Amino acid sequence: MIAADTGIRLATVADAAGIAAMSRQLIEHGLGWSWREGRVRRAIADRRTNVAVVGGPRSLAAFGIMSYGERHAHLLLLAVRREQQRRGIGSALLLWLEQVAVLAGVERVVVEARLANDAARCFYSEHGYHERAIERGMYGGIEAGIALEKWLRPALA
């Protein structure tokens, strides 16, 4: 099982501050900081959202936040500490979240990335995500973004 190999677990409120700090440093740098500790705590408490982490509250290596709708899931955030990257942690975490989406009956996963973030775009492409649309000013009117999606199963009629 993937979770046993990488230590993936559901986040607790003790993880919220670390997740918020990682989001600010690794994802939201140069933008307004919207994923503060309170917002992360609300995501952890939300029944329609999974917040998964790798590592302990004081030593988080990675986290992912995915919300689930009836037909699609939205990968809101995914980050791996720089010193932990290129070790398969992000891939394992993404696969874990996708497996939960499949179990929930979701057809597809959507995610956004900064247009200039070539590493993220390549990562998602390697995992079967397709670029759908570019949106100028997606990130606070400051930066362009790109919407990506991955179909997990055929769309229902």
- Which pLDDT score is estimated for 139? 76
Q: What digits encode the pLDDT tens for the residues 76-126?
A: 999 999 888 888 999 999 999 999 999 999 999 999 998 988 999 999 999
**Residue range 129-141: average pLDDT?**
84
- Which pLDDT score is estimated for 151? 95
Q: Is the pLDDT of residue 156 over 80?
A: no
Q: Name residue 140's amino acid.
A: G
Token pair 């559901």 is found at 10
Say whether 38 sits in a helix, a strand or coil: helix
Distance CA 129, CA 115 (A): 15
**Phi, psi (degrees; rounded to nearest 5) at 41:** -60, -40
Number of H helices, E strands in the chain: 5, 7
Residue 113: its H or E element: strand 108-114
Q: Is the pLDDT of residue 45 over 50?
A: yes
Name all domains of the chain by residue range, CATH numbers in brackets.
Answer: 2-151 (3.40.630.30)
